[in-house]
Structure 1
């Protein structure tokens, strides 16, 4: 950083390597879908010499070639690692999907990185979801910078975008979000738009001209200097305000000309601390050009201003049993502590794990201990076992370049970790450790599926297990009430990718069916029933008669069985049999086949036979008695009700509350939250919020979040209950 005129010959065909943590930078790219992240990665790879001018690695594939699903859907759907080498520094670029459905991949990238580069399109501006990620990074003190893309778009205005970024990202200090360079424009075209041809460094006051296809440095024309003076002064003041040298501001205000090296050093320290956020510009390389506009400047910022892994504190660790341990230190000679940040399947080598090493050194064919968090509610089994890892490699396009080791602070792909899943910790087998889990959003969009054919049914279980092992934001449910297999996803695009992976990777064809919620039934009033099970054949017969009364109980009471038999009309040994039959029938349901709940069943009379009565006979009689009681009684259909907690910016509160009311919801309260947001709490029937994950995103322009939890079952309105029973008949 600091307006250097570097060419830095690249290393096409060689794996980027690092021999010490200080020579590593881990950077995650963040931005909405279509902001130009993948194009920027390709431009950086070209500038670093990792690809040729056609954007191809040595095997002819593009650096961005990763997944056939991404090619078909024309968007990124997974985290990808692109390692580059620049000026003796290894840069691990983590390109994340910009679509909200794949926020799990974004969080994995944030976990593995030490700094974030926010990519903002000059054509589209800053969306609400990107603002929220910025705030998330700010909360943990992650260093951030901003790069503005799509400057070639009509009406693109870098100065205006810088102001927008300062408003969006500089809530606490707008003067900490400032440009390091200003774009230079060529002659206007027929459409009135002047293309960007270069940059002028505000600190050095040097011009970096890309018009010829090569980066050329020169002195600026004198007439340009007044135009950049105001921006330069603001930048210098912003840097000095973040300086650790408290005397610097007084010297500057006193008229002293602060030398460029001092300013660059202070700038780099402020960026690494996460207190100053420079704005840069980038544009794709022209046909045949070796550099994209701004790519050299961006690589210099990453290598000079972003922190090394030594400057990042690792997440806390415990033993698998929960005992606290010292936080790992980024030392290649220290004890091994690494984490699986992504799991994928390769058709040739099987499961491949992308691993970030926080301490120690990972080597091929070593035996490591795998510890997991046991996300049983999402279909992920707990892990506490030893595994021997396979080869280590660095991905590049469709290639896997073999590595001899992976030191603390670096990332690598690990083969043959057959049991490890995303989020699991790898440590020494004689010193097992478990790293604190990172935050993952709850999947709240249900996708009910069934095997398309018998061969698919045989493969479905294994395919689903492998699918959820790759993606901790997905939850697998085998619903015992509805007997459905349900994949809980983050949105429709997430669901589409899950189905495509089942088909293309695991050879499982499934059909999507309507998702059913777990309904219940109860008696609307008192009723009586008589169960008579009398059969006489040539041999041993069956004889059991019981008489019951049924009355409703308050919600949540379950089934209460009361014995009021007198005089031994039903022998004592058969009373549990009657209860067992009643409960079994209640579980099977009556009017609509949904379980009966919240009733008291009283057994008050019956008859038995000294020879033909049996446990089985009285179970059958108990079930018949409950069915007879229901035949002449009104049965209420009960629907599950959830408490829904919706967090949205204040401007969307009215729309959210109106929408919830339209879903038969009852708002029970609102609370102010930091950052100009409001938490709306409401009780809403489950049947009304099956697609709420999709609808809320549309309603709040991607800025809304919600959670849900079961509250109770309550009677469904009669008209809706009748309609539902007709559909189920």
Structure 2
């Protein structure tokens, strides 16, 4: 992979309701850019994103997965996050490393619960969002209804289509780009005139688009109100400002399995997602609050947003560099412990595949292996300039089960195994209740805890039995007692 500067990098979290097609979209983009020669399928467990055995068993995404693609001298780090709400911790970690969110919406179902939760989280973090209406080739697909359902449910009228589809379901054959007013047909995105039957709709949609672009910039709105026509470059500038300031949510459309609309989507990610140095992140240095601007010449600050403990590779820490750069063989320190270590192994990552890397510049994402006592949320920095990137906050667990070892051998391994699975996932916790003499594993839901139990067996060889936790009663009857009482009725 070529070397990229900070301004050439885009970090985007893929979000949405479970089953909307996020992983399939990632796979289609990999295929479109020539990284893979054949598209995998979620059902077959053959996608680049879903590499974990539990994901193959369940047929859903469980872990976040970093998938970099290269497009027009730009490196786009796609962070594919699970849509199932039990794994919300992965979504929080993905958004910590990303500058923007790409919301994938089903063209048939429209705005769903997972869509709303992801959008609310983006709104809370004040991060830009782009919507991709997927599966336009499915029966009953309706782009207008999907857009309207988002406006109604999310309460944001600045959800603006940047495209309209040419047909739907079996007749879906391309998209109309509203900025340049051109049609792009087929998976190749071949330019063509807009079909006559879609011209009126395209012109009406473009008026709304240009208005949104003008409203985002003071100079453009004055020119627009004076009756002058905005150029394509001016419209794009206004839209970039609006998206960056979260004033506009662009909507694109296409089909991941059919490959239609993907090239225009990558163009949108390159143009409208802010570069890492266009946004700041809060940190603390010497007790004082600071802002880190992804400056490659600034102090070293790399935030660990994901940890995987592999029985062969060891501890793998996913790092997003928010300032400076991390080089192989350099000395870095853990701001939490103050311990200094040498970066012996530095990799770029795509799914489960690791490639050797010499340095990781500000804004980029990579993996450092074999670092002891480094956890999710830690900040790696220069030993002589200790600073901390403000970590995200994770929700408290909602579901509990009691776990007990099946055999004597499992008893010795249960403690380290529980520690490892909880280090991999910050929304998992365990504790020993002395009153009931039980070890309780806590997570965000039944599926979440079940995945953790299976991981203990598959990754660490620890088999445990699961039961309903006992209630630790604090008061009880301890002995037999008797008493007499005579009631005298007075008249």
Asked if Structure 1 and Structure 2 have the same fold, meaning a TM-score greater than 0.5 normalized by the shorter chain, the answer is yes
Residue in 1 that maps onto 2:245: 273
Does the Cα contact within 8 Å between 2:70 and 2:76 map onto a contact in 1? yes
In the TM superposition, 1:479-558 aligns within 5 A as: 479-521=433-475
User: How many angstroms apart in 2 are the aligned matches of 1:54 and 1:497?
Assistant: 27
Structure-2 residue corresponding to 1:38: 23
Question: How much does 1:65 deviate?
Answer: 4.2
In the aligned structure 2, how far is the partner of 1:475 from the partner of 1:223?
58
SS of the aligned residue for 1:326 comes to: strand
**Helix, strand or coil at the partner of 2:103:** strand
Q: CA deviation at 1:16?
A: 5.5
Partner-residue secondary structure (3-state), 2:78: strand
Alignment of 1:180-579 (within 5 A): 180-185=162-167, 193-210=169-186, 213-245=187-219, 248-286=220-258, 292-319=259-286, 323-372=287-336, 383-521=337-475
SS at match of 1:369: strand
Aligned residue in 2 for 1:563: none
Aligned to 1:130, which of 111, 115, 118? Answer: 115
For the residues of structure 2 that align with 1:155 and 1:281, how far apart are their CA atoms?
A: 15
The separation in 2 between residues aligned to 1:454 and 1:208, in whole angstroms, is 65
- The separation in 1 between residues aligned to 2:434 and 2:329, in whole angstroms, is 42
* CA deviation after TM superposition for structure 1 residue 216, in Å: 0.7
Deviations 1:621-649 (A, max 9, x none): xxxxxxxxx32169xxxxxxxxxxxxxxx
The alpha carbon displacement at 1:259 in A equals 1.8
Would the alpha carbon gap of residues 496 and 179 (structure 1) be closer, same or farther in structure 2, given more than 3 Å must change?
same
Give CA-to-partner distance per residue, 1:233-272, whole Å, 9 cap, x none: 1111122122231xx4454355433222211121122112
| 1:179 paired residue number | 161
Unaligned runs of 5+ in 2: 484-491
> Which TM-score applies when normalising by structure 1?
0.63
Q: Distance in 1 between matches of 2:30 and 2:40?
A: 8
Q: Shift of the alpha carbon at 1:351? A: 1.1
| Cα deviation, residue 285, structure 1 | 4.3
2:278–2:293 Cα contact (<8 Å) kept? no
TM superposition shift of 1:456: 0.6
Instruction: Find out whether 1:115 has 2:91 as its counterpart.
Output: no
Distance 1:293 1:407, change over 3 A: same
Q: Give the aligned CA root-mean-square deviation in angstroms.
A: 2.0
Counterpart of 1:194 in 2: which secondary structure?
A: helix
- Deviations along 1:429-485, one digit per CA (max 9) or x if unpaired, are 222223323111101211110111011111111111111111111111011211111
Counterparts of 1:66 and 1:371, CA distance in 2: 31
CA shift in 2, pair 1:261/1:437, >3 Å: closer
Q: Distance in 1 between matches of 2:198 and 2:6?
A: 42
- Equivalent-residue separation in structure 2 for 1:62 and 1:34 (angstroms): 14
**Counterpart-to-counterpart distance in 1, 2:100 and 2:482:** 66
Deviates more, 1:233-242 or 1:25-34: 233-242
Measure the CA separation in 1 of the matches of 2:251 and 2:218: 21
Q: Partner residue of 1:152?
A: 137
CA distance in structure 1 between the partners assigned to 2:226 and 2:388 by the alignment = 55
**CA offset digits 1:362-396 (Å, max 9, x no partner):** 12233322134xxxxxxxxxx44333333111222
Deviation readout 1:312-363 (Å, 9 max, x if unpaired): 11122244xxx22533332222211111100012232111110011111112
Q: Is 1:76 the equivalent of 2:61?
A: yes
Q: How far apart in 2 are the matches of 1:390 and 1:452?
A: 39
Other-structure match for 1:632: 481
1:65·1:397 contact (CA, 8 Å) conserved in 2? yes
Cα distance in 1 between the residues matched to 2:314 and 2:451: 19
CA contact (8 A) 1:16 1:84 kept: no
Give the SS at the match of 2:127: coil
Greater Cα shift, 145-154 or 492-501:
145-154
Matches for 1:84-103 after TM superposition, within 5 Å: 84-103=69-88
> Conserved in 1, the CA contact under 8 Å of 2:189 and 2:261?
no
Whether the aligned pair in 2 keeps the contact of 1:209 and 1:215 (CA below 8 Å) is yes
Q: Is this contact kept in 2: 1:166–1:178, CA < 8 A?
A: no
Q: Which has the larger Rg?
A: 1
Q: How does 1:567-716 map to 2 (within 5 A)?
A: 591=478, 630-632=479-481
May I ask how many residue pairs the two structures share in their alignment? 480
Q: Distance in 1 between matches of 2:17 and 2:437?
A: 38
Q: 1:33 Cα shift?
A: 0.6
Q: Would the aligned equivalents of 1:152 and 1:283 in 2 still touch at CA under 8 Å?
A: yes
Stretch moving more, 447-456 or 397-406:
397-406
CA contact (8 A) 1:354 1:414 kept: yes
Asked whether the 8 Å contact 2:216–2:242 carries over to 1, the reply is: yes
Q: Provide the rounded CA distance (Å) in 2 between the counterparts of 1:344 and 1:473.
A: 14
Conserved 8 A contact 1:61-1:397:
no
SS at match of 2:339: strand
- What is the alpha-carbon distance in structure 2 between the residues aligned to residue 167 and residue 230 of structure 1? 20
Q: Can you give the 5+ residue segments of structure 1 that lack an aligned partner in the other structure? A: 1-14, 187-192, 287-291, 373-382, 523-589, 592-629, 635-729
Greater RCO (CA < 8 Å, at least 6 residues apart): 2
Change (3 A) 1:249 1:365: closer
SS in 1 for 2:247: coil
Contact 1:118 1:145 in 2 (8 A): yes
Cα 1:392–1:134 change in 2 (3 A) is: same
CA distance in 2, matches of 1:318, 1:483: 43
When structure 1 is superposed on structure 2, of 395-404 and 66-75 the one drifting more is 395-404
